[in-house]
Chain A
Amino acid sequence: NAGVTQTPKFQVLKTGQSMTLQCAQDMNHEYMSWYRQDPGMGLRLIHYSVGAGITDQGEVPNGYNVSRSTTEDFPLRLLSAAPSQTSVYFCASSYSSRLAEKLFFGSGTQLSVL
Chain B
Amino acid sequence: GENVEQHPSTLSVQEGDSAVIKCTYSDSASNYFPWYKQELGKRPQLIIDIRSNVGEKKDQRIAVTLNKTAKHFSLHITETQPEDSAVYFCAASFTGGGNKLTFGTGTQLKVEL
Partner-B contacts on A (CB < 8 A) = 31, 33, 35, 40-45, 48, 50, 56, 58-59, 90, 97-103, 105-108
Q: Is the CB of B46 within 8 A of A102?
A: yes
Set of chain A residues within 8 Å of B93, measured between Cβ atoms: 99-100
Minimum Cβ distance to chain B for residue A4 (Å): 8
Set of chain A residues within 8 Å of B96, measured between Cβ atoms: 98
Chain A interface secondary structure, helix, strand, loop or mixed?
Answer: loop
Set of chain A residues within 8 Å of B106, measured between Cβ atoms: 40, 42
Partner-A contacts on B (CB < 8 A) = 1, 6, 9, 32, 34, 36, 42-46, 49, 89, 91, 93-96, 98-106
Chain B interface secondary structure, helix, strand, loop or mixed?
Answer: loop
Listed by A's residue number, 22 A-B pairs whose Cβ atoms lie within 8 Å are A31-B99, A33-B99, A40-B106, A42-B6, A42-B104, A44-B103, A48-B98, A59-B1, A90-B44, A97-B99, A98-B95, A99-B32, A99-B93, A99-B95, A100-B101, A102-B34, A102-B49, A103-B46, A105-B45, A106-B43, A107-B42, A108-B43
**In the complex, A50 Cα to B93 Cα: how many Å?**
15
Minimum Cβ distance to chain A for residue B11 (Å): 15
Q: Lowest 5 A-B CB distances belong to which pairs?
A: A100-B101, A105-B43, A42-B103, A42-B105, A43-B103
Q: How many A-B residue pairs have CB under 8 A?
A: 65
Minimum Cβ distance to chain B for residue A47 (Å): 11
